[in-house]
Each structure stands twice: as C-alpha cells, then as structure tokens.
Structure 1
C-alpha cells in the first residue's frame, strides 16, 4: 500500500480520474496538477476530409486515446471493413474497442511508435495507404519509416496540446510541507511543463522520485530533474504497483 503518501499526477484533468482512483484504492493521496491540456484541432477540415475518404486506406494508426476520441468525432460514416485499425498501446486499443472498431491490432511488447513499426502487417507496404491519426506536432518516426517501406502516408492531426499553467502556489506549499512523495509523468511534455511551472522552485523536483512508463521519458526526466526516475510498465495498475514496490523498499 502507499501509506497515505501524496502522489502528484500531471495528466490532463479529464484523463487523470482512473489513475487517481487506483492511487486511492492502494492507500495513496492523489494530487492532481495537470501540466497538459488537450483541445480539439482549431481547423478540423483537413482531418475531416481524410476521414471522409477513410475507405481508401489500408491501415489507420491511432497514436493515443486522444487520437481516437478526437479523430472518430470527425468521422461521418461507419468504419470501413477493409481498413485495419492499429493502436499504439492498450489504452488506445480500449478506446477503439469502446467505439466498436473491430479487429484492432496492438504491439505485443513495446507500446510506442517502434512497437507499431514491428508489427508484421506493416513490414511490406509497397503501394499501401496508411493514415496516421495524432496530435499536432507528433513524432515523425512512424511517417518516415512507413514511407521508406513503400507506403503512401497521410497525417490527420485531430487535437492540440498546451500548457494550462495552473497556479503552482498551492502545490509548492504542499511540497515544501513534505506532502508530495512521488510524481507521475506519462508524457515527456508533461514533465517539461512541470519543470516550467516550478521555475523558481526547481529544487523540489530533486525531493521526490518520478515514475514514468517509457525509457524515452525516463531519459529526459533524469537529465532535466536530476532525481530518481523509475521506469514502469504501461498502464495505471503497473504504475501504482511500481510505486508500492518502491516505497516498500524504502521502508525496509
């Protein structure tokens, strides 16, 4: 159990609920301080045009649950049978399943662009058409690698991210009082924005371990925060279990 420890959650507020519930269920005290806000794309017309022609594609890759939510909201017709839906990870796959999208493919081990690129169905792509559904300014690795394999790739940008810049004073006071014991960052941008929010109190970041679900995020946080970083498996339950193991060792 987490023993009443304060756990800072940096996810967008609308997406922090399930993780907060899991923290409470394991005896922790979630502290919500969203450092990313998600908005619909300002001009949806280009993405709407691509979704109107969805039946022309062989594969549609969704890079996040946000991509599913905002992307499918732009679709005006049922999902075409010929198009295979590919999710970058379990949360994205669950979002597609809730939308009744059939036969969703998901990486087996790595839940990231590299994991998607390892799927058998994406190895021989000469003449195939692929739609990537993502936020503004996403990684280009998928696009470039799929094109190198012969695919014709289109990008549907369906949401944008920004730093909400919530007042950090209450968080800083709580942290100074010794009531923040761990930080969860599930995106590199969330970690960078937390660093920006604490611009005059960066010493706080050295006082609590940071739990992250990916090696790329871990490397960035180690360099930026100079604190203990614990890489976990993907998913809320895996993050909470990793925190329990960490604090059990600390107690020992």
Structure 2
C-alpha cells in the first residue's frame, strides 16, 4: 500500500530572508510583491524619487513638429507615464499621435504603452539603450527619419549617439527627473541601521549613488547583518564598483525577474 501524499507544501525559497530594496517609492510595490511571494521579508529603502519635469518651451517645440516624427522612443516606464500625463493634458484624443511608430527598451515599458492600446513595433531582447538603438537600426527605417526620444534627466547618450550615427534626426524631450531621496528620517532607514539585511538589491545606478552618498545615515549598528549587494545589470554594477561596494551577484538580464532569479540562486533555501 502506497504511503499517503504529504500535504506539506515546499518551503518558499526566500523564507526567513530580509531583503532591502532601493527603488523609488512608487516603483517598489512590483518588486516587493515578487519577493514576498517567495517568502522574503522586504524592507523598502526609497533612495531615489521620481517626478515630472518638462521644459514647457521644449514641449511646445516638439508638439509643433509632432506630425513629422516617424518614431517615438521610450527608455523607461516612467517616461511613458509622464509623457502621456502631459499629452492628455493637452490633447483629448489618442489619435492626435498621428502615425507615430513606438519603440521601447523592455517589457515593463511596453506594458505601459500597451495599456493605452498602442502597439510597440520595436523592442530589443536585452533591455539596454544600446540594444534598443541596434533594434531600431535593424528595422531599416532610420535614414533621415525623425525620432523623438523621451528621457529622464539621467539618461545616457549611447542610444541617441547610435541613432544619429545611423542618419536619424533625433530630438530629445525630458519628461521626468530622478533625484536622491533623503532617508535619515525614514523609519525604514532606522530599521536597516539596527537590523541590516541579508541582501540589498540595486535596480539603477542612481540608487547606488544615493546609497553611497547617504552612507552615514545608513551606517549599520554593530549587531546588524551586513547585506550582500545584488545588481540588476552591467551599468548598475559599474557604479557599485566605482563606489567601492562589493557585488555579490548580478542579474543575467537587466530586468526585475532576472534580478529575483539571481537572488534566489544566491540565497534561496534548498
């Protein structure tokens, strides 16, 4: 007679682990949800803050030429949200976009665009600016094409430089800014100082910079657990190295899912 199947469920791989995350407050829930579903205790340290930032004259210049653009390119989900917030303030009909083609850097950004019932025609397999430029070039549509790139204040130049080298005519429109968020008065910072964490996850270079700049406000007590540092990708790892923070692991692809997978491989209960 066979033994009865056990009713016990397998332990969640991050059960008993405390994970600190460093995304902006409004961005944290997605990553927090992924981690808590795996059993982790999550400590949110919003090291950066993101807000709309648009030069009204630059916006007016872009809108005057809006119908002449061939592509509109988004490098982040933040760019989509803040661009369309302003777009719908001015226009009351999505058809005012005309015949623009949409390109974006990765799945999270694509979801924001598709939520507006707009089709993404170009998205690279690797979510980086360089890969996005290569994917656009591969469409064969850039020679003398007009391209509008929606950016934040900290965007790197690689995307625009590659598009211009491919003979595209590129305009940039900044729609948001990323700034450091002071944590000295945050309850979560006090908990981090007192208890530390098993791991701290960095999903952007700006979060690394803010963490390093606020080292005094986040200094651990003698009894706190020193966290391992996990990086979402090459650019973030580069900043961690520059700021003297050892990297315990790096995501294989620059995405939250890949970062969580790397974390589980590093710390997961087996």
Normalised TM-score (structure 1): 0.88
234 and 83 in structure 1: CA distance in 2 versus 1, 3 angstrom threshold:
same
Out of 146, 149, 174, the position equivalent to 2:163 is: 146
Matched, 1:245 2:257: no
207 and 225 in structure 1: CA distance in 2 versus 1, 3 angstrom threshold:
farther
Secondary structure, counterpart of 2:243 in structure 1: helix
CA positional deviation for 1:225: 3.4
1:71 aligns with 83
Distance across 1 between alignment mates of 2:186 and 2:152: 30
CA positional deviation for 1:21: 1.2
Residues 178-231 of structure 1 deviation map (CA, whole Å, 9 limit, x = unaligned): 441111111101111011111366678x93222222112112213323323311
Q: Which moved more, 1:239-248 or 1:190-199?
A: 239-248
- Pairs within 5 Å for 1:1-252: 1-41=13-53, 43-51=55-63, 53-75=65-87, 76=91, 77-79=93-95, 80=97, 82-108=99-125, 110-119=126-135, 120-121=137-138, 125-167=142-184, 170-171=187-188, 173-199=190-216, 207-232=226-251, 233-248=253-268
Distance across 2 between alignment mates of 1:177 and 1:200: 12
How many residues in Structure 1 have an aligned counterpart in Structure 2?
Answer: 249
Normalised TM-score (structure 2): 0.82
CA positional deviation for 1:39: 0.9
- The gaps in structure 1 that reach 5 residues or longer are none
- The gaps in structure 2 that reach 5 residues or longer are 1-12
Runs of 4 or more above 6 Å deviation = none
**Bigger-Rg structure (1/2):** 2
CA positional deviation for 1:124: 5.4
Contact 1:60/1:131 (<8 A) preserved: yes
Q: Which moved more, 1:211-220 or 1:92-101?
A: 211-220
